[in-house]
Structure 1
Amino acid sequence: MATATLLISCLDRKGLVAKIADWLFSHGGNILHADQHTDAIAGLFLMRVEWELDGFNLTRSEIIPAFAPLAETFDAQWEIHFSDHVRRIAIFVTKQDHCLYDLILRQRSGEIPATIPLVIGNHAELESVAHNFGINYHHLPITPETKEVQEAAQLALLQQYKIDLVVLAKYMQVLSPAFLAKFPQVINIHHSFLPAFPGANPYQRAYKRGVKIIGATAHYVTQDLDEGPIVEQDVIRVSHRDSVADLIRKGKDLERIVLARAVRLHLENRVLVYGSSANSGLNLRTVVFD
């Protein structure tokens, strides 16, 4: 059963839910899921609503122009997604394979509703993993001197393979602002419970601080390192008996789970990013409609 999903944000006011529901009803829409949230600090209304396309009296190409006049009355930011549009993922890797294996296996089992036609690595170690699953692998080594050229090659590959989402599965490189300006749909997994221990070697720093929990964070990538809007997080308890190696081992389990959750939430159109320090007094953040 194909569905359409509307994600919308605007300044909060009375009657928004009623007006959106009435618009759907007027076109024969049967709502399957609806959820909304009001951020009182930002004064914003945020909503996700999903409805059946069967029986809806607008074609897919007619939905956006038909809804636009109503959205203009709210001065809203909004987007429409269709459940049967299978998106295409590119996975960026370095040498660690645990997140790569996990994403591929979940995709093959149907847990992640997407295709994975492309893996890009700045080292050659994981080429055999991709090839074992019939996935194209491109080795693009990066140095400070070659970064601009290699990122241009990466962008060309994303266009060639018609990629919708890039997942950084332990890709130990920082994407440049120029790259993100051209392709902003990027999810990263960071091996700590952000905002604690951003940047490199978080497990080593956590061990030195004697922490009692460690975590993993999946977030959208922005120009600010490890400060993008958070999609998913989780934690696990550790003790004084755990070595750095123990923290890394336990952390890898979390990284797999958190990254997979974040990718699935994104693909199911359950994440709405909003806010900015410039116009709302808030950093970019997310509402996750689960």
Structure 2
Amino acid sequence: MKNIFNGLKGLSRFWQLPAEKQMAVTLDEEQVYFCQLTLPMMPAKEVAEAVRWELALHVPYAEGSFYYDYKILGNSDGMQNILVAVILKKLLAELDEAARAQDLVLTSVSIAGFEEQGFNLVPDAAKRKRVPMAKLYGFGTVSVVVLGVLLISGGWCYKTVQAGRLQKVQAQIQNLSLWQERYEEQEARSQKIKVFSEALQKLERERLLWSKVLPVLGSSTPENCWLTNIKQREASNIVEVYGKAKSMEEVKKLLGNLQASKNFSKVTLAETNANKENNLGYKIILQGREK
């Protein structure tokens, strides 16, 4: 084993990657312990866990004293064939020491004759720790560029969002102005209607309205009784009704109907007279109700 190790030290320059100061080693299959497992088909994460548990039953090494890598060779009838390559931590530490002695980083330990399977017995944790400085510099440069792009994009997005919000607020203000204008117009119309209503109520208190007097007279006048003239005293609440009737009975009916309508505070027969046609002329005074 020591001779092989010394030989590796001398030959490692053939596997050196000068640009990144890495070293890759290929071992003979006698230096690696192989184990073949047959497991049911399952997701990759569950396969890794199953291999870890199965190795404890099949590998002749103490738990925690070895590293391993596995490859799936194929599957049939719902089962998958898995080949596991195991290396002692002690041997891996010696290879790592040889690489460090030449200021190199051990990144790959493969197996002769199994290149197709692509085994690499360097632990994943060690691979992550051995990131070349060139990659770190590249990653840092990319990070700075990405950060700059993000800051510029963020500023542009912020301005765009703020512009959108400002435009939305301006639209809302414009809508509010429109509603304010409509509200003021409605208030002006309401005020005009109020003034008109108050004027109408005042007019009703001060005088009788033809719109109320005429329908009452029309419905209250009996048969054989008719109207000849209607006058309203200027700026007063009194209406004078003139007419004729065949007899006094029709005049009395007219007086009773007008009083029963309850539209007037007072209904008075002011005068009567007979004419050549033996018709009875009359004058009735209607006084509106005080409000």
User: TM (normalized to structure 1)?
Assistant: 0.16
Q: Which structure: greater helix fraction?
A: 2
TM-score under structure 2 length normalisation = 0.16
